[in-house]
Structure 1
Amino acid sequence: MTRLNVLASLLLASILAFAMPHALAGSTHVDIEHRLSTEQLHATGIDTLSPAQMELLNRLLRDNATDAGPDGIYRHAPPQDPHGHVGLEDGPIHGRLRGALDGWQPGTVFELDNGQLWKVLKGKVKLPESLQAPPIVVVPGVAGRWFLQIDEDLPKARVYRID
């Protein structure tokens, strides 16, 4: 490991040690980016995490808060979800959109050729020209999140299934 990786690991461990007592005390979970000041986020390097890394860190903080013993020490991994919630183990969904596509914003509903309906939660794009029934891929992310991708060069829309 490089010196930078070692420092980043130590810093992350320190942040987790700071964050866990709050979670163990039964407080409502607050994402790490809302717990620290802008200066602290920058000093720790957390502001350089990708959105997926940030979601994973927050999920680990949330999930592990219930996995500690009374002394705050974590002795095993969190249990697997017995309800089979959607996650990274699910494969992507390939299909075509029904109708024309000019862009999307929160609230836009996509209807796929397989009958599924997906609604945009985050993301906004205005396409330079309308696409007729474009092929799409809905890909799973961490913690049950899904992203609709039209083209690799375009941003993905964060979506959730409504039907």
Structure 2
Amino acid sequence: MLLDTRKPVFAALLFFPVLATAATVHRCEDANGKITFTTLACPAGHELKLQNAHNPPPGSVLTPSAPSETKTRKRSEELVIVGQRDDGCGNVLSAEQRRRAIINQQTPTGMTKRDVESLLGKPDKIVGRNAELRYVYEEKKGKSRQVTFDENGCVKGKR
């Protein structure tokens, strides 16, 4: 007779506490007081402070910690976002605007060639003139759709 050992192991796993995930982030401050956060090392000349970043799982209940003193930010301080996506088109479109345009089959100004090809596929014809590039898509009933790109590969606006 064989013993099924899976049940006791599974039951034992239910008694382990759920651990909250946390990460350590480097808080780098330069001589001018400019602060950046990164998971990498701080650049030379920056003061390093380790800071715990707590990311509770969705649905968990947060309890307020002890009251701490609040600091107001000076207007001259600039917030630096590390790891922001650069699409090469000046980040004209937000991620939400880009998704909405793709869903609505639109090609607004600031969309990249990659986005357009993802939306409409490979063009039927490519026309290049000066620094402009134009994708031509042949559609039903003899109609065509054209998308014009600038020298950076970004959709140009209508003039």
* The two structures share one fold, judged by TM-score above 0.5: no
With the shorter chain as reference, the TM-score category is under 0.3
**Which protein, 1 or 2, shows the higher relative CO under an 8 Å CA cutoff with sep ≥ 6?**
1
Please identify the structure whose Cα radius of gyration is greater.
2
What's the TM-score, normalizing by structure 2?
0.24
Higher helix share: 1
What's the TM-score, normalizing by structure 1?
0.24
